[in-house]
Homo-oligomer: A and B are copies of this chain.
Amino acid sequence: MIVVFKEQTPKNEIEKFEAKMKELGVELHESQGSKYFILGLVGDTSNIDPSRIQSNRNVEKLVFVQEPYKKANRMFKPEDTVIDVEGRKIGKGFFNVIAGPCSVETEEQVVGIAKSVKKSGASFLRGGAFKPRTSPYSFQGLGEKGLEFLITAKKETGLPIVSELMSPQQVEKYADKIDIVQIGARNMQNFDLLKVVGQINKPILLKRGMSATIEDLLMAAEYIMSRGNDNIILCERGIRSFQKVTRNVLDLSAIPVIKKKSHLPVIVDPSHASGLWWLVEPMAKAAVAAGADGVMVEVHNDPDNALCDGQQSIKPQRFDNLMNILKKYIEIENRQLS
């Protein structure tokens, strides 16, 4: 960390600050500029809460040299994390396609879609049982029954299940029924939920919040990892902007940026990012090209009558076409379909 002091900071104030820092075990490097006094904090700064430096009225600026996350940081673990879910590998050269309906509606629906996407090449089945809906008057998901239908679909297809859980209680009660627990964008900084999923033995699919910086996302991952669960898959799903046509703006540059800063796998959700079914294909292809480790796509047998997000869902036939195109991209990128 680099601390820039305000002009005319009294010498004794700087000394007081320096003494405090020395206690925390860091080495100090002083620089006197023409206007400012600058202090470099060298060593393990990870235990210094930045807000406690910024609160000092003499501090003009605090500059981070190292990122504030440790376990998620590639600097401290250079090799890619590979997550194994029932033999399917995620990360480092493997490419996964997670497909399924926004929300589970009936057993017949989800089993049918599961069979279909499996045939096309999907490696995981997604389906919402507990749905975070903007309106309290919208369909909130089938809940536990939805999970049962997903389990039936898994039995019939072998596809492991990705499904969202929204509260600590749900995690305690239902995490065992799911293969990858999804934490939704709106819950990315639901810290109590992060702490709880940090203590379970299931991979976590952590979606980027709508206004989360990449650092925010990696700090959310750090919350989970700091509790002992290292199996995290990050998911870019679009960020809020002034743009009006698409629901969010898919930030594909986040993929190479995250890959540089972290060893965790990153996938892309083109369905939620755009909110429009006809953008799923170009954005899924672009995600592969940008280096994603997978995509998560909403597939529905009858989007016109879907209980949720029909406008961003594609039909099984279109998904099959998409898979055929994606395979070419995956090949060029030297990835292996999981």
Where the two chains meet, the residues of A that have a C-beta atom closer than 8 Å to any C-beta of B are 2, 4, 29, 31-36, 38, 40, 42-44, 46-47, 49, 51-52, 54-57, 60-61, 63, 65-66, 68-69, 75, 132-139, 166-170, 186-187, 189-193, 195, 209-211, 213-216, 219, 222-223, 226-227, 239-246, 249-257, 260, 273-274, 278-279, 282-283, 285-291, 303-311, 313, 325, 328-329, 332
Contact = CB atoms under 8 A, between A and B. Distances in A.
Most buried by B among A43, A186, A240, A243: A243
Contacts of A49: 135, 137-139, 307-308
20 contacts: A2-B38, A29-B31, A31-B31, A33-B42, A49-B138, A49-B307, A51-B309, A51-B310, A52-B307, A52-B310, A136-B222, A167-B192, A187-B190, A209-B211, A211-B239, A241-B251, A253-B273, A256-B282, A282-B290, A286-B290
A290 B61 CA distance: 24
A324 B146 CA distance: 48
B167 A193 contact: yes
Cβ-closest 8 pairs across A and B? A55-B310, A211-B211, A29-B31, A285-B289, A186-B189, A167-B192, A286-B286, A289-B289
Contacts of A211: 209-211, 239-240, 242
Nearest to A304: B56
Contacts of A254: 243
Contacts of A57: 303-304
Contacts of A306: 51-52, 55
Given A132-B191, A190-B190, A214-B245, A33 B40 contact: yes
A328 B240 CA distance: 33
